[in-house]
C-alpha cells in the first residue's frame, strides 16, 4: 500500500491533541478523595496466595501485579499474588507504564498491574460479574490512576467487581525490534487469564468478564473481539468512543513502521543484550520520534494512534470491517460516542472564528479527492447562514464532520455489521457529560452544552465532581444499564422506568440519547453516506 499525501483527515490527530492538552496523570483517582477515606487492611485467600487489600465503608480495593514480561517479550500470568512494584503497603497505587508525559519517578517498566474494586455487596458465593476497564490515551499515555477511575461506586451500584488495568504503551507495547506484534493487546489477555484464576476468591464468576474501555481502550477491545484465541476469556464488551475509522494497522504497514523504529535505536534488532541495556529514557525518546513521524511513512498510521493493534493474521485474524470477511459473532456489545468527539481537535487547530473560505481550505487540505469535494458538497456539512445573513462559524460543521467520520458513523457501520453476523449491538450517544480534566485547555469543551471526548468517563464511574441533578440522573441510568448488561447481556433494567434500548439491525440503528430523550438522528450516518459515498479511512488505506 502506497502512503497517501499528507494526513487524510484533519482529525487524524484528534486523540493526540486531546492527550497533549492533558494535565499530568494524577494518582489520587480524580476528585473522589479515595485515599483520604477511613480504611483498614483486609485479606483474602486466593489460589495464588494471600491478597492484601485496603478497605473503606463501600468495599475493598486490591492492587496486584497480574503478570510480568521481559522487555519486548510476551507477558506471562503471575504465579503468585504480589503487590505492584515491590510495595509492602496495600494502599499504595501502582506506578504507571513508561511514558514521556510524566516524570520518570511515576512509572516503572514492571507495570502490568490491576486494581480490583470489590464492593461489600459481593460476597464469596455471589458468582458476580466483573467489569474490566481498559484506559485510553492513544496507546501512548495514561494508566489506571487516570482521573475518575475509582471503580468502587460503580462496583457497588452494579453489584459487580470492577477491575482497572494498565498495559505496556507505545513502542514497548507495539514496536518489538524482533517484529513481535500486539504485545500490549496480549497483556490484556494475560490480565484476563489471571482474573479467571483469582476472581472466585473474591466472589466473582471466572467466566463472567465484560470488557469495557474508552478511546484507544475501546480500540483494544475491538482487537480482542477480532482475536479468536481471546474469545473464551470474556462474555461481552462495552466500547466507548473507539476511532473505528482508522481500522487496524496492516502487516505491511507495521513492517514499514518497525523498520523505521529499529533505525532509531543504537542496537541491532537481534542484539538482545544491547536492547535490554537501553535506558527507558532512550526508548521513550525513540518512541516519541516514531509517534510524531509515523504518519509521514504511511498515512494509515495516523497522527493519533500510530502504534496500535495490527491485523497480523495469526492473533488478530479479521479487520472487523468490510476489508475482510466479517466473522460470525455472538457476544452482546454496547457501543457509544459523545456528541462532540472532535471538538478538542477542531477548536485547538482553529481557536477563533472560521470563515467559509477557510473551512473549504481545511477540508481540501486534509482530505484526499474526491472525498473532500463530496464532503463539501454534502448538505450534512454545509455552513448555514444566520438570521442576519452572515455565515455561521464554520468550526461547527467541521467538528461535526470529524465526529461523524472518525467515530459516530464508523461505529454505526460496525454495529450494522455486528448485527448482520449474529451479534447484538446496542448503540448510544452521550448528549450530557461531565467535563474531563484532559479537556481543560479547550474553551468549547467547558460550555454546558458540549460533550467532548472523555466527558463520559466520570458519568460511567459515578465520580463526577459536584454533579448536577441531571448528571446524577444520568449516572444512575447508565449504571443501571451497565448492571443489567453485566448480569444479562441486555442494557434494559427491569425497574427504573427507563426507555427501552433496542439493539441495532443490519439496516437500522436505534441509537439511544444518553442524557436526553428519544433516539439519535441518523444524519450523515445513514447507511448510504459514510462508508459508501464517503469512504472511511480504512477503506482508502487497506492493502
pLDDT in tens, 122-181: 988 899 999 999 999 999 999 999 999 999 999 999 999 999 999 999 999 999 999 999
What pTM was estimated for this model as a whole? 0.94
The predicted structure's pLDDT at residue 11: 53
* Helix spans in 378-515 (H): 395-402, 409-420, 457-461, 469-488
Which segments in the chain show pLDDT lower than 70?
Answer: 1-41, 543
Cα gap 118→161, rounded to integer Å: 5
DSSP states of 150-215 = --HHHHHHHTSEEEEE----HHHHH--TT----HHHHHHHHHHHHHHHHGGGGTEEEEEEEEEEET
Sorted by sequence, the CB contacts under 8 Å of residue 396 that are 6+ apart come out as none
**What is the Cα–Cα distance from 196 to 276, expressed in whole angstroms?**
31
Closest to 40 measured CA to CA, from 30, 22, 31, 53: 53
% the chain with pLDDT above 70: 92
pLDDT tens column, 135-150: 999 999 999 999 999 9
Q: Write out the three cell numbers for 541.
A: 488505506
Task: Round the CA-based radius of gyration of the chain to a whole number and report it.
Answer: 22
CA distance 278 to 179: 18
Residues 6 or more apart from 436 whose CB is under 8 A from it?
Answer: 147, 148, 452, 454, 455, 457, 458
Task: Answer whether 181's CB lies under 8 Å from 312's CB.
Answer: yes
Give pLDDT tens digits for 347-383: 999 999 999 999 999 999 989 999 999 999 999 999 9
Alpha-carbon separation of residue 117 from 48, 63, 258 (angstroms): 18, 9, 38
Q: Parse the chain into domains and list their residue ranges.
A: 10-541
Report the C-alpha dihedral over residues 205, 210, 216, 219, rounded to 10 degrees. Answer: 120
Beta strands 113-119 and 76-77 are: unpaired
Within a 10 A sphere around the Cβ of 191, how many other Cβ atoms?
27
CA proximity to 246, closest of 188, 198, 295, 207 = 295
Residue of 295, 319, 317, 318 whose CA lies nearest to 306: 295
CB 296 within 8 A of CB 302: no
Can you identify the CATH homologous superfamily of domain 10-541? Alpha/Beta hydrolase fold, catalytic domain (3.40.50.1820)
**Contacts for 27 with CB less than 8 Å, ≥ 6 apart:** 93, 106, 145
Amino acid at each position: 500500500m502506497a502512503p497517501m499525501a499528507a494526513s487524510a483527515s484533519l482529525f487524524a490527530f484528534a486523540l493526540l491533541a486531546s492527550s497533549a492538552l492533558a494535565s499530568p496523570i494524577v494518582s489520587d483517582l480524580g476528585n473522589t478523595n479515595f485515599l483520604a477515606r477511613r480504611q483498614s487492611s483486609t485479606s483474602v485467600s486466593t489460589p495464588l496466595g494471600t491478597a492484601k487489600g485496603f478497605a473503606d465503608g463501600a468495599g475493598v480495593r486490591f492492587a496486584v501485579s497480574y503478570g510480568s514480561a521481559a522487555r519486548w517479550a510476551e507477558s506471562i500470568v503471575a504465579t503468585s499474588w504480589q503487590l505492584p512494584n515491590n510495595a509492602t503497603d496495600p494502599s499504595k497505587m501502582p506506578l504507571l507504564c513508561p511514558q514521556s508525559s510524566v516524570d520518570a519517578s511515576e512509572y516503572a517498566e514492571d507495570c502490568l498491574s490491576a486494581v480490583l474494586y470489590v464492593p461489600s455487596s459481593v460476597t464469596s458465593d455471589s458468582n458476580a460479574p466483573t467489569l474490566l476497564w481498559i484506559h485510553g490515551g492513544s496507546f501512548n499515555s495514561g494508566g489506571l490512576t487516570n482521573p475518575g477511575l475509582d471503580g468502587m461506586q460503580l462496583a457497588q451500584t452494579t453489584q459487580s467487581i470492577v477491575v482497572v488495568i494498565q498495559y505496556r504503551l507505545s513502542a514497548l507495547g507495539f514496536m518489538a525490534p524482533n517484529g513481535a506484534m500486539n504485545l500490549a493487546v496480549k497483556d490484556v489477555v494475560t490480565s484476563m487469564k489471571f482474573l479467571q484464576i483469582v476472581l472466585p476468591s473474591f466472589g466473582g464468576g471466572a467466566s463472567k468478564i465484560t470488557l469495557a474501555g474508552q478511546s484507544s481502550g475501546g480500540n483494544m477491545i475491538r482487537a480482542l473481539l477480532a482475536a479468536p484465541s481471546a474469545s473464551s476469556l470474556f462474555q461481552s464488551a462495552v466500547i466507548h468512543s473507539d476511532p473505528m475509522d482508522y481500522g487496524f494497522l496492516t502487516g505491511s504497514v507495521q513492517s514499514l513502521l518497525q523498520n523505521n523504529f529499529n533505525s532509531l535505536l543504537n542496537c541491532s534488532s537481534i542484539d538482545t543484550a544491547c536492547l535490554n541495556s537501553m535506558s527507558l529514557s532512550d526508548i521513550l525518546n525513540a518512541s516519541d520520534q516514531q509517534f510524531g513521524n509515523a504518519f509521514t511513512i504511511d498515512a494509515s498510521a495516523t497522527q493519533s494512534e500510530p502504534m496500535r493493534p495490527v491485523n497480523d493474521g495469526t492473533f488478530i485474524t479479521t479487520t472487523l470491517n468490510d476489508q475482510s470477511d466479517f466473522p460470525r459473532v455472538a457476544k452482546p456489545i454496547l457501543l457509544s460516542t459523545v456528541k462532540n468527539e472532535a471538538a478538542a481537535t477542531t477548536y485547538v487547530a482553529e481557536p477563533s472564528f472560521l470563515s467559509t473560505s477557510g473551512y473549504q481550505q481545511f477540508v481540501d487540505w486534509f482530505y484526499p479527492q474526491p472525498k473532500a469535494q463530496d464532503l463539501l458538497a454534502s448538505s450534512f456539512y454545509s455552513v448555514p447562514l444566520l438570521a442576519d445573513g452572515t455565515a455561521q462559524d464554520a468550526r461547527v460543521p467541521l467538528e461535526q464532520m470529524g465526529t461523524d467520520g472518525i467515530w459516530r458513523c464508523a461505529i454505526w457501520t460496525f454495529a450494522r455489521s455486528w448485527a448482520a453476523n449474529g451479534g447484538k449491538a446496542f448503540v448510544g450517544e452521550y448528549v450530557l457529560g461531565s467535563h474531563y480534566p484532559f479537556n481543560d485547555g479547550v474553551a468549547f469543551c467547558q460550555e454546558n452544552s458540549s460533550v467532548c471526548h472523555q466527558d463520559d468517563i466520570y458519568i460511567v464511574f459515578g465520580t463526577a465532581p459536584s454533579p448536577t441533578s441531571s448528571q446524577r440522573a444520568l449516572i444512575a441510568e447508565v449504571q443501571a444499564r451497565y448492571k443489567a448488561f453485566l448480569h444479562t447481556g441486555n442494557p434494559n433494567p427491569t425497574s427504573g422506568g427507563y426507555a427501552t434500548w433496542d439493539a441495532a439491525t443490519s439496516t437500522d440503528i436505534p441509537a439511544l440519547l444518553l442524557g436526553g430523550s428519544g433516539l439519535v438522528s441518523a444524519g450523515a450516518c445513514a447507511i448510504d453516506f459514510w462508508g459508501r459515498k464517503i469512504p472511511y479511512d480504512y477503506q482508502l488505506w487497506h492493502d
